[in-house]
Amino acid sequence: MAGPSQKKAESNLKFAVTTSLRPAPGAIESAKQLAGQLNFPFVDRDNRSVKYLTALNCADGLLVVSSQKISFLMGKNKFFFHPGLAGLRIKEINNGKTDQMISAMSLKEGQSILDCTMGLGTDAIVASYVTGATGSVTGLECSPLISELVKRGLQSYSAEDKEMIPAMRRIKVINTNHKEYLASLKTGSYDIIYFDPMFRYPRRKSPGMNASRILANHDPIDLETIELAYNAAARRVVMKERRGSAEFVRLGFKYVLGGRYSPVAYGVKERRRTPV
Ligand SMILES: C[S@@+](CC[C@H](N)C(=O)[O-])C[C@H]1O[C@@H](n2cnc3c(N)ncnc32)[C@H](O)[C@@H]1O
């Protein structure tokens, strides 16, 4: 696993922004705007390969803007926003199946959720669907690149799945470190505060996760962060980890829930019981 000391921090990586080979109208403007916002150089695609442009700009990776999406390319690694299993999980919830995360959160319509580790936003989309238009989901992500790509993806992604789209559009994304954000909150600011940190010991290398793993923060959560979350939560703090992970004990989660055969589990710290 690429731990914090083994991998180059995102702030030390150099990126450039370009377009796809045949940019749609507006793509060049959009790429220039993204480059300005992230403080990366914009480079004309001009029929040149990704490899060539990366080398030409002495960059570690390239952001490629097309009409459908923004892709981050770094060597063989590729990352772009997609809702992952969110659509399937929403269908299963509608078919009456238990979603273990929703169950651990005891999430009800109208509640507010703070997702402290938003990543690609799959869990946030499912939570946003369940809490509905009367609730709210705020996602925190400390990688500037992940948060910007996911923020734009949540606002622009289009799919057949009409139920998922409004849930995606409602999510508010903030690029910040969750510890700093939590320290600024008053008690009861959010009903549920959720953590899904990078696993201390990853399960298996999945190709989809590799590129985002390069950008993601792998630091373990500290006890003070969990205490800040507990103070800021109105109902529950929930943390996902591998089943049997020592992190639950280290961070003081006495109750650990989850499906009997599931490789992951959810630690729960309850402040106030949610009426059933
Ligand atoms: C395992 S991923 C979360 C996946 C997410 N639950 C989903 O459904 O896509 C963990 C994410 O949390 C982010 N992260 C880790 N520490 C953080 C911190 N202190 N503040 C904000 N984000 C953090 C990482 O950069 C990474 O993108």
Decide if pLDDT at 273 tops 90. no
Average pLDDT over residues 37-57: 95
Question: Is 154 close to ligand 1, i.e. is its CB under 6 Å away?
Answer: no
In sequence order, what are the beta bridge partners of 241? 265
> Mean pLDDT, to the nearest integer, of 241-248?
95
Which tokens in the block code for residue 28?
A: 């060049």
Burial class (CB in 10 A: 0-12, 13-18, 19+), 276: exposed
Distances (CA, A) of 85 to 82, 122, 191: 9, 7, 24
Q: Residue of the nearest CA to atom 13 in ligand 1?
A: 117
Summarised one tens digit per residue, pLDDT across range 80-117 is 999 999 999 999 999 999 999 999 999 999 999 999 99
Query: Does the beta carbon of 141 sit less than 6 angstroms from any atom of ligand 1?
Result: yes
Ligand 1 contact, 127 CB (< 6 A): no
Minimum CA distance residue for ligand 1 atom 12: 117
Q: Is 241 in the pocket of ligand 1 (CB under 6 A)?
A: no
Q: What is the mean pLDDT of residues 24-38?
A: 92
Instruction: Return the amino acid letter for 118.
Output: M
| Integer Cα distance of 47 and 36 in angstroms | 22
Q: Which tokens is 219 given?
A: 């630091």
The mean pLDDT value for 234-240 works out to 97
Distance 119 CA to ligand 1 centre (A): 4
Mean pLDDT computed over every residue of the chain: 91
Which of 114, 128, 129, 142 has most ligand 1 atoms within 8 Å of CB, for mutation?
142
Q: What is the pLDDT of residue 203?
A: 58
Residue 159 has pLDDT above 90, yes or no: no
The reply to whether ligand 1 has any atom less than 6 angstroms from the CB of 198 is yes
8 A C-beta contact, residue 16 and residue 57? yes
Task: Please tell me if the CB atom of residue 225 comes closer than 6 angstroms to any atom of ligand 1.
Answer: no
Burial class (CB in 10 A: 0-12, 13-18, 19+), 5: exposed
Model pTM? 0.92
Residue pair 13/61 in contact by the 8 Å Cβ criterion: yes
What domains appear along the chain, each with residue ranges and CATH number?
10-75 (3.40.50.10480), 86-270 (3.40.50.150)
| Backbone region of residue 4 per phi and psi (left: phi > 0; alpha: psi in -120 to 50; beta: other values) | alpha
Q: CA-based angle 58:63:67, to the nearest 5?
A: 145
**Closest-lying ligand 1 atom to the alpha carbon of residue 199:** 1
What whole-number distance in Å separates Cα of residue 94 and Cα of residue 147? 29
Q: What beta strand segments (E) does 136-254 contain?
A: 136-141, 172-175, 190-195, 233-242
Residue 16: CB atoms within 10 Å:
20
